[in-house]
Amino acid sequence: MSTSVSINTFTHSTAYVTDKMLSSLKWIIFWSGLDPDKLTRDWASLELGIKTWLRSRHLERVTLEIYLPSSMSLVGRWDFDVVYSYGSSDDGSMWVDTDAIRFAIKKAGVDPKRCSYRIIVHTKPGSPSVEGWEPAELLSTSGLVRQSVGTAIGTNDVSSRVSYWRKA
């Protein structure tokens, strides 16, 4: 007699990646000297949207924009690009590299006193609607350059490459 066990690792992976993305955003906001209250208030809606679109495989990117409210000009930006079917092994490993993110924050250079932030997602066409989310346009990256941090969140099923934008 043999016994077979099957686990839907994709469901676990999307929950893990959602949590680690939001936690990473929280640390970027906090370590940059910005006020995390807005993120805390929006956490449930952010979690629902990110998890929903990861599970449906429609999520392509989560972006944190740091900007000057007076001019709506971008000061810095963080992109979490989603990669599906990341791992090549089936060992069930899940990891996050917050040290790489923390190191990149020092290079990004944000003046938190005058800045605000917002989180925008980019999804593939046909993505499911999620309550609390509405269309938004990204601010211009003119005068900024993109720097890759590398893969900072990983599971076998889905991962996230992180990059940030800083003044050229």
Q: Residue 83, CB half-sphere, CA atoms under 13 Å: how many?
A: 15
Residue 126 dihedral angles phi and psi, to the nearest 5°? 85, 10
112 located within any domain: yes
Q: Print pLDDT tens along the chain (168 aa).
A: 555 444 568 888 999 999 999 999 999 999 899 999 999 999 999 999 999 999 999 999 999 999 999 999 999 999 999 999 765 555 668 889 888 888 888 777 667 788 999 999 999 999 999 999 999 999 999 999 999 999 999 988 899 999 999 988
Structural tokens at position 75: 């000061």
- The CATH number of residue 70's host domain is 3.30.900.10
Number of domains in the chain: 1
115 located within any domain: yes
Distance CA 29, CA 25 (A): 6
134 located within any domain: no
58 located within any domain: yes
41 located within any domain: yes
132 located within any domain: no
Parent domain of 18? 9-126+139-167
